[in-house]
């Protein structure tokens, strides 16, 4: 059980490192980690998908939203 949990944790870390936000991509990375095979995430096959650039939200941004919501 601990080994499987470790594979899940490492799979999620892979997804975060690669900025994989889609369910299918994250699932693919997790299964590849568990099955010990290399992942094949080639977005060249999906040119119609937009490129997503997701940044980490700062605490100041959250505080500004909370202040607006309180008004």
Higher confidence at residue 11 or residue 5?
Answer: 11
**pLDDT score for 37:** 87
Overall pTM > 0.75: no
CB 28 within 8 A of CB 39: yes
Whether pLDDT at 65 is above 80: yes
pLDDT for 20 equals 78
Task: Provide the token pair at 40.
Answer: 């094949």
Spatial CB neighbours of 39, under 8 Å, sequence gap ≥ 6: 14, 28, 29, 32
At residue 2, the pLDDT reads 57
Is residue 3's pLDDT more than 70? no
Mean pLDDT of 25-35: 83
Q: Which of 36-40, 47-51, 63-67 has the largest mean confidence? A: 63-67
Q: DSSP 3-state helix, strand, coil percentages of the chain (rounded to 5)? A: 60, 0, 40
């Amino acid at each position: 059980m601990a080994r499987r949990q470790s594979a899940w944790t490492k799979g999620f870390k892979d997804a975060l490192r690669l900025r994989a936000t889609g369910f299918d991509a994250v699932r693919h990375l997790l299964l590849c980690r568990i099955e010990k095979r290399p992942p094949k995430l080639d977005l060249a096959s999906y040119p119609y998908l937009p490129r997503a650039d997701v940044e980490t939200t700062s605490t100041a941004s959250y505080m500004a939203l909370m202040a607006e919501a309180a008004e």
